[in-house]
């Protein structure tokens, strides 16, 4: 029985390609449609809550809220509030506020809040809160509610509540983007506006919440509807695409492929005996596949005509491959890190010297020598030592994104700072030092992940005759840093 080799034919590839294009296109349209609609709705509600909070903040009686907050923060009020909450007796709070001359304004401010909410159809919650500037002893923020537009008990005034995790270290003094969250109150969009007195002191923060429950439910329904529609449309398009591809691409290519398998050129055979493809009697489509057929036939004829030149072609190919190998061997790339090697740096130095000679030089050289490498190699093996080298190299390259970096020795690297990196060279140097200090100080990770390096940088100065002058200064500063590291940590730093 003839053995039939299984393979991934071009017909199958065409089907997979069509499937991938159609699915990805429709999925992309679905995703973009869903995201654009969702983002547009989210932006609307975020702007609504921020605008509402800022608008109501302009109505707040700052002096009264200052007095009310001061009273609510006293131990006397907090003890009274706890008692009122325990006994569910609001009159205790009302009596306290009346005795301190705060009750009438309290009623007025609360009524203003309620009226504002009633006149704004989309707003669900409006409240005034005093955000805690610092964490409590247990490491959590506890914020105090002052006024609320809802019909809540009076003893809610002065109530301290633990800040929800999604608000994190919220800074009440700055303008903050509204937050959409799903917490104890369900889906909410929350916007905040700070209220300051005339001297710029933060008195309170106005919070505005809009329920997003219906929006999220509609969004889920919309997503399901879009998904079903996308699946149906995808199936229809795929069926049509497969039929077209089969008729006009796959079947003609299969016939050409079958004829090509008969081709067996030899010097003692003519075109017909060698099996040159011949489908002229059935080819009348005049399309690209017809062009392929004609080109294949011409190619087969040329193969037979020039079969004696195969040896020469092979020799030429070997010559080209040899030249390519030679070029590859001379590549200016460090095998371990993938950055430029010493030869590449030498070529860069020549460019810098030309710039110096022409009076157009503006650059700095940063030297980096890896600390702790010998210790990693000796104690954890050279494989981990290589990881350590590549990690230090990655930090250098990631920080100096606009500058070429070279490995000129086992643990020595040099970067030529130009352009944006040159303009911010001191910042880049400080960033590198901080990163290496942080990674080296992380004793919880593997030793070969505690990256550390000594750095030195110097810029080109008038009077320097070559890039080597700059290199030497940077190298000297780097070794000063290396000595300081050894003195501080008592480590063998290579």
What does each of the 494 residues of the chain score in pLDDT, given as a tens digit? 444 456 666 667 777 887 888 888 888 887 887 788 888 888 988 898 888 888 888 888 899 999 999 899 899 999 999 999 999 998 999 999 999 999 999 999 999 889 888 888 788 888 898 876 666 667 677 888 888 888 888 888 888 887 776 666 667 777 778 888 887 778 988 888 889 988 888 888 898 889 888 888 888 888 888 788 878 888 898 888 778 777 777 777 777 777 777 777 777 777 767 677 676 645 556 677 777 767 777 776 777 777 655 655 665 776 767 666 566 556 789 989 999 999 999 999 999 999 999 998 999 999 999 998 999 999 999 999 999 999 999 999 999 999 999 999 889 999 999 999 999 999 999 999 999 999 999 989 999 999 999 999 999 999 899 999 999 999 999 999 999 998 888 755 45
pLDDT score for 493:
46
Measured distance CA(229)–CA(225) in Å, rounded = 6
pLDDT score for 21:
84
> Does residue 71 contact residue 130 with C-beta atoms inside 8 Å?
no
Residues contacting residue 431 through CB under 8 Å, at least 6 positions apart: 399
DSSP letter, residue 246: I
C-alpha distance across the termini of the chain, in Å: 69
pLDDT score for 169:
63
Query: Which residue reads 């608000």 in tokens?
Result: 167
* Intervals of CATH 3.30.70.270 along the chain: 342-489
CATH number of 342-489: 3.30.70.270
Angle of helix 288-305 relative to helix 251-260, nearest 10 degrees?
Answer: 10
pLDDT score for 1:
41
Residue 359 Ramachandran class (φ > 0 left, ψ -120 to 50 alpha, else beta): left
pLDDT score for 152:
86
pLDDT score for 245:
74
* Intervals of CATH 3.30.450 along the chain: 38-218
Helices then strands, each counted (H, E), the chain:
16, 10
Q: Does domain 38-218 have CATH number 3.30.450?
A: yes
> What is the C-alpha radius of gyration for the chain, rounded to an integer number of angstroms?
38
Paired residues of 224 in beta bridges = none
pLDDT score for 284:
53
b/e per residue, 122-135, with b = 16+ CB within 10 A?
ebbbbbbbbbbeee
pLDDT score for 2:
47
pLDDT score for 7:
66
């Amino acid at each position: 029985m003839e053995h039939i080799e299984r393979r991934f034919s071009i017909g199958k590839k065409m089907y997979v390609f069509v499937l991938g294009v159609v699915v990805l296109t429709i999925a992309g349209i679905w995703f973009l449609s869903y995201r654009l609609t969702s983002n547009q709705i989210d932006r609307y509600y975020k702007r609504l809550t921020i605008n509402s909070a800022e608008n109501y903040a302009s109505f707040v009686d700052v002096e009264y809220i200052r007095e009310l907050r001061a009273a609510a923060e006293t131990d006397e009020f907090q003890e009274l509030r706890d008692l009122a909450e325990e006994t569910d007796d609001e009159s205790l709070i009302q009596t306290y506020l009346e005795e301190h001359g705060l009750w009438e304004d309290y009623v007025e401010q609360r009524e203003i809040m309620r009226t504002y909410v009633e006149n704004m159809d989309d707003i669900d919650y409006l409240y005034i809160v005093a955000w805690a500037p610092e964490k409590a002893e247990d490491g959590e923020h506890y914020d105090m509610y002052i006024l609320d537009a809802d019909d809540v008990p009076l003893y809610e005034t002065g109530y301290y509540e633990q800040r929800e995790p999604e608000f994190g270290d919220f800074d009440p003094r700055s303008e903050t983007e509204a937050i959409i969250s799903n917490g104890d109150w369900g889906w909410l969009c929350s916007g905040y506006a700070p209220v300051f007195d005339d001297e710029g002191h933060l008195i309170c923060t106005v919070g505005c919440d809009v329920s997003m429950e219906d929006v999220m439910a509609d969004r889920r329904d919309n997503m399901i509807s879009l998904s079903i529609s996308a699946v149906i449309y995808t199936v229809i398009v795929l069926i049509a695409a497969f039929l077209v591809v089969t008729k006009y691409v796959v079947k003609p290519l299969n016939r050409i492929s079958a004829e090509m398998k008969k081709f067996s050129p030899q010097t003692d055979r003519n075109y017909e005996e060698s099996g040159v493809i011949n489908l002229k009697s059935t080819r009348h489509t005049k399309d690209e596949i017809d062009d392929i057929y004609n080109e294949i036939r011409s190619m087969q004829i040329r193969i037979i005509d020039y079969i004696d030149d195969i040896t020469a072609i092979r020799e030429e190919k070997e010559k080209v491959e040899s030249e390519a190998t030679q070029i590859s061997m001379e590549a200016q790339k460090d095998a371990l890190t993938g950055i430029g090697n010493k030869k590449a740096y030498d070529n860069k130095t020549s460019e810098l010297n030309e710039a110096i000679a022409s009076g157009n030089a503006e650059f700095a050289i940063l030297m980096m020598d890896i600390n702790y490498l010998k210790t990693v190699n000796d104690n954890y093996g050279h494989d981990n030592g290589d990881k350590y080298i590549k990690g230090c190299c990655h930090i250098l390259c990631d920080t100096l994104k606009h500058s070429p970096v070279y490995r000129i020795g086992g643990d020595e690297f040099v970067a030529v700072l130009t352009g944006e990196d040159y303009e911010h060279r001191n910042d880049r140097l400080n960033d590198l030092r901080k990163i290496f200090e942080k990674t080296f100080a992380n004793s919880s990770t593997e030793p070969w992940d505690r990256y550390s390096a000594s750095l030195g940088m110097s810029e080109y100065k008038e009077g320097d005759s070559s890039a080597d002058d700059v290199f030497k200064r940077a190298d000297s500063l780097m070794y000063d840093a290396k000595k300081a590291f050894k003195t501080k940590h008592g480590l063998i730093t290579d």
